[in-house]
Amino acid sequence: MSTTWATRRKTRIDDLSAGRSLTSEAFRRLRRDPVALTGATIVGVFVVIAALAPLIAPHGAAEAFPALQENLRPGSIPGPQDGFPLGGDQLGRDFYSRMLLASQQTLLVGVLATVIGLIVGIVIGTLAGAFGGWVDTVLMRVTDVLLAVPSLLLAISVAALAASPSQTTVIIAVAVVGVPIFARLLRGSMLSQRDSDHVIAATALGVKRPAVVLRHMLPNAIGPVIVQATLTLATAILDAAALSFLGLGDADPGRAEWGLMLAQAQSYLDVRPALAFYPAIAIIVVALGFTLLGESLREALDPKGSR
């Protein structure tokens, strides 16, 4: 027993002197958290499916099959059968392939929208928090206005500005929704950094203003924003699906998208509820996965909680 204790003790000391950062400490906490593991598993499986979708999907998203079309009647859509594990959809396409391929669109739109929103939000938040004064006032009043509009309504308004709906408009619309959240969050934590001892100490050493902001303030302020980004991924996926559902999404019939699939399945709810059920479950599970991961990330990075 004493040897185990000694080895464990030794490794801990080695860990310490090797320079373990706050980030690696957070990862250590995450690995022991069942909620985080559940979230990470869902997200992981989703990402793998999305990445491999073109390879594992047996058919194309727009491909219609005579075998399925022949059995299409008003009041009957063919169910699972040989070669089509989930059956066909209302146009005689392979439902299983469409479900898989749609995950790709969801991941793409969700990640791109969040990243774009994050970048713009970080720029705005940094400017406002670092400069203060009128720059801060102007940027934050605009942010306030954006925050006052319900997020989905804002996304719909932005998407509706475009002449014709497309994937790009969805990404931009969802990104715009994220910007004010990131900007305000970052601005707040930048402000608290501005008066912190180590920033004053860096200033007292003559460190240049841009270096103070980018090296001393931003890295210490950005934690909550990164956590918010994982949570925003979930809402971005939901918002993107909602836009498609409302007909403001990608109109390209060659691409499958869960929100759009859900919208089109409405007319066939009594005939074949599975057409609505699967996309809905997929959206919920993926959003839940990102939320679980984000929440536990927030807890793990919170310096006050030590587990």
Q: Which residues pair with 94 in a beta bridge?
A: 88
- Least distance (Å) between residue 21 CB and another protein: 6
The answer to whether the beta carbons of residues 258 and 102 sit under 8 Å apart is yes
- Least distance (Å) between residue 9 CB and another protein: 17
Alpha helices by DSSP H, listed for the chain, are: 2-17, 22-31, 34-56, 66-69, 95-131, 133-148, 151-161, 167-194, 197-204, 209-211, 218-221, 223-245, 258-265, 274-301
Determine the straight-line distance between the first and last CA of the chain, rounded to whole angstroms. 25
- Least distance (Å) between residue 118 CB and another protein: 19
Q: Which is nearer to another protein, 200 or 269 (CB)?
A: 200
- Least distance (Å) between residue 105 CB and another protein: 36
Q: What residues make contact with another protein under the rule CB under 8 A? A: 16-17, 19-22, 196-198, 200-209, 211, 215-216, 219-220
Q: Which is nearer to another protein, 20 or 298 (CB)?
A: 20
Q: Is 19 left (phi over 0), alpha (psi -120 to 50) or beta?
A: left
Q: Which two structure tokens, joined as six digits, stand for 49?
A: 């499916």
Q: Which is nearer to another protein, 73 or 307 (CB)?
A: 307
Q: Which is nearer to another protein, 37 or 207 (CB)?
A: 207
Q: Which is nearer to another protein, 176 or 212 (CB)?
A: 212
- Least distance (Å) between residue 206 CB and another protein: 3
CA distance 257 to 101: 8
